[in-house]
Amino acid sequence: MDRRALRWMQVGTATFLVAVPVDIINHRVNGLDITSWSPSHVLLYVGTGIMLAGAIRGWWLYAAPGRVRTAVHLGLWLFFLENVLFPNQHQEYGVLSLAAYRDGHTTAEQQLLDFAAGQGSSPTSFMLPVPPWVHPAWLVCVGLLTLVVARKVVGLRWTATLLTATYLGYRAVVWGLLAATGFPPSVLPVMLLAGAVLVDCAVTWRVPGWAAGVPVAAAVFAAAFVQEFVAVIPPWQWSVAPVVWIGFAVLWGWSTGSGAPGGGPGGGPRWPWTTAPQRSQAARQHRESRSGRGDVVPSDPMTQEARC
């Protein structure tokens, strides 16, 4: 692990630890705080994300190539994706909780309802505390962008699809276990899977991000429309679709650079943990350290590097 990866992990851990007393003070001052979008809770996600980014960088640069490195790398990206999408779960739980409340068989504890009434909040504003544009904008511009980065970094053809399917499968299993114990159910963001498949296809076919972003984001909105028709989704403000589509295209184009297809100015992505010179340097250090111990090492442990 290099100094940059270590610093990222240290900064992320420190941010997470700072968020703990901040959250305690917030609860002491304001009482209950169940929203996932409060500042003290956001610090927890930010700290976790920075820490995971450092772990991803360190593992990708310095782990010996092979199936173990790929499997662990995918696992780290799965944790990163879950952390990124976690705030959206407030709306995904809230929409079903609100429906149950309106049907007269609420799943919310009386303590929470009393607290909401004491604050002068309506059940709707308490269970769905953020504007309806937040869920689609965050899902696409942050969640789907995470899959773009993961696909470029890991390099396996169906990385985004595998991560999303695994995440949804995990959510479904946990949903069943929690529901069996009486815990309130939630909506699964199945619409993300459509975007993940198209991200994999676009990267494989070397479609520039600025060109692929709009149709891929539009596909997520189309899948959400279908999901709302056949099941239920959190409130979506459909009028923000053009802004979200264009914003995602800009973010995708920026994240992969405006130079050669699929890469930054030198043909590679902008993320510092994926640059070939750093991986080659890490490989040399790996060989030298093992040679110094008398180990037999291959001529180039990076020859099996995954290609984007």
Helix, strand counts (H, E) of the chain: 13, 0
E strand residue ranges, the chain = none
Mean pLDDT of the chain: 84
50-103 confidence digits (pLDDT tens): 999 999 999 999 999 999 999 999 999 999 999 999 999 999 999 998 888 888
Q: Backbone dihedral region of 186: left (phi > 0), alpha (psi from -120 to 50 degrees) or beta?
A: beta
114-136 confidence digits (pLDDT tens): 766 666 567 777 788 899 999 99
The DSSP annotation for 230-298 comes to HS------GGGHHHHHHHHHHHHHHHH-SSSTTSSTTSS-S-GGG-HHHHHHHHHHHHHHHHHTT----
237-256 confidence digits (pLDDT tens): 999 999 999 999 999 999 87
Residues near 286 by beta carbon (within 8 Å), at least 6 away in sequence:
62, 64, 297, 301
- pLDDT at residue 29 in the model: 76
pLDDT at 27 over 60: yes
User: What is residue 155's three-state secondary structure?
Assistant: coil
- pLDDT at residue 306 in the model: 39
d(C-alpha 215, C-alpha 144), whole Å = 13
168-211 confidence digits (pLDDT tens): 999 999 999 988 888 888 999 999 999 999 999 999 999 999 99
